[in-house]
Structure 1
Amino acid sequence: MMQAVRLLALSGIIALTIVLGLRWYQDRPVPPEPLPTLTLAVLEGRAAFDPAAIEGPYLLNVWGSWCPYCQIEHPVLMALQAEGIAIYGIAFRDTAAAANASLDTHGDPYAGVMLDVDGLSARALGVAGTPETLVVGADGQILTRWSGPISATVLRNRIYPALERGALRE
């Protein structure tokens, strides 16, 4: 019985350490880094984009129609679009039909959206999984990134401050 209690306590400590470590990893400041060259395919029926031609700070959202967490995040992206925030999307390892169907069903928050069929652009961006959102400043530098669905706390503490910094860097 005493061994079971000790094992349970040890398991709890390990779990807490993992949770706190992941929290630190997500909340750590990241130095600006240049946006890499992306190799993207046009998503038929949607506006395309060239990162080098985008003026001002913007969000770059990597998503997939197959991703349940992306569906959870989608209403937040729609609200950000309604606020006038420029959002560009990269459909990661998706098909044109599935990506278009998802955007037709749930709404299209993107000023431009393209396909990363082979995953090379996501790899160049250092994307760990979907959804992942990067804030890119007017100077083309990645100012911050968030892996996972965007919440109100993430908006307040990471996204909005980085967008403000990105606007100041012009």
Structure 2
Amino acid sequence: MADPSDHDVIDLLVAQHGRIKALLEQVLVTEGQVRQQAFDDLVRLLAVHECAEAEVVHPASRHHAVSGEIVNSRLHEEQEAKHALASLYDLGLDHPQFDSRFAAFAERVVEHAELEEKEEFGQLQLQTSHDERVRLATAVRIAEAFAPTRPHPGVGGSVAANLPIGPPTAVFDRIHGALREWRSQSSIA
């Protein structure tokens, strides 16, 4: 079995895309607590994934001359997704409009992931060494380490009652801050 610390950032992000797609589907087809857990997991994973891309992957892409138009388009899509996710969170899973809005959100997220893989990741792979991509993967793992994983003890299982998991914007902000701190202390561009 391969050492996970030897996986490069592209492999790691593509695997995350797979998990994101599975969670999107789970939210679409499940109900009750299972659906809530899938949504909570989706919020966490999207925060980890998008923050790592914004703070580490996209800057590395720019550094290695990946088209600024491609990077800017992905960043714009990520901002839209962040706002849409926060809106869905505020709306709540039981709201009558949640399903239709979530389905549209899921479609945009999948399209975004496919564009990243096709346009940005391919160029990044051509422009960087395996060692550099492994270092970039470390930053993604740092983001995962700072993302909340479960409710605080003594707090109910709902996300609304649990501020450390809390609204998506709070989760995104926490991970962005941790990654900025890490980047300022590391040699990654």
- RCO comparison, higher one (Cα < 8 Å, 6+): 2
Whether TM exceeds 0.5 here: the answer is: no
* Bigger fraction of residues in helix: 2
Question: Which of the pair has more CA radius of gyration?
Answer: 1
